Chains A and B, each alone.
Chain A
Amino acid sequence: EAGVVQSPRYKIIEKKQPVAFWCNPISGHNTLYWYLQNLGQGPELLIRYENEEAVDDSQLPKDRFSAERLKGVDSTLKIQPAELGDSAVYLCASSSPGSAEAFFGQGTRLTVV
């Protein structure tokens, strides 16, 4: 069974440019998470979806970040415009109903120059 798939793996953009990350969760997993991981730090939750509904987006900087999960499967996280401080690894994870475990993708490493 395929794991959580994220693309791209790496992205370098200039500041003020937009960027988008894509995540395909494990089939059947209704919960999807986006995390931000800075170097030397643990993952920090940005947004959590239950199916297509964002149930926790309190940590998402809504002035520049947006996310969607149309049809409750794939998800896209967007930053517009990107700032130097957005350089980090963006992780996607998913879990199945009632499960205590989240499965993580490889992440997208963003570098803003």
Chain B
Amino acid sequence: GDSVTQMEGPVTLSEEAFLTINCTYTATGYPSLFWYVQYPGEGLQLLLKATKADDKGSNKGFEATYRKETTSFHLEKGSVQVSDSAVYFCALYKIIFGKGTRLHILP
């Protein structure tokens, strides 16, 4: 069946470091892919999305490219900030979520 696998956390980085959170998926066809973020004490929010192969989603300095050849949708940011500390979820369609990756950014 369809599934999403993302890297386990927690991930701890210093401010201004480069971030990569890996996400791979298993699905038939070419599903829409999403990254959601959950800040402490808040609900899930859509961070970015890509609806077809080779699309790049971007928002708030984060980017992810839909790679059908590697069935991946890795999240990247060139310079993280303390305010990026949150839990990040990779998702397939709007239905199947990864387990989440907790990110801690140290000042």
Contact = CB atoms under 8 A, between A and B. Distances in A.
A101 interface: yes
Given A100-B32, A105-B43, A40 B94 contact: no
A76 to B, nearest CB: 19
A42 B49 contact: no
A106 B97 CA distance: 17
Interface residues of A, number: 20
Given A100-B32, A100-B51, A101-B49, A45 B96 contact: yes
Nearest to A102: B94
A101 B99 contact: no
Contacts, number: 46
Contact of B44 (A41, A56, A100, A104): A104
A95 B46 CA distance: 12
A107 B44 CA distance: 9
Majority secondary structure, B binding face: strand
Contacts of B4: 42
A42 B99 contact: yes
Nearest to B98: A42
A18 interface: no
A48 B93 CA distance: 13
A106 B43 contact: yes
Contacts of A100: 32, 34, 49, 51, 94
Interface of B: 4, 32, 34, 36, 42-46, 49, 51, 89, 91, 94-100
Given A41-B99, A103-B46, 13 more contacts: A33-B94, A33-B95, A42-B98, A43-B44, A43-B89, A43-B97, A45-B96, A91-B43, A100-B51, A101-B34, A101-B46, A101-B49, A102-B94
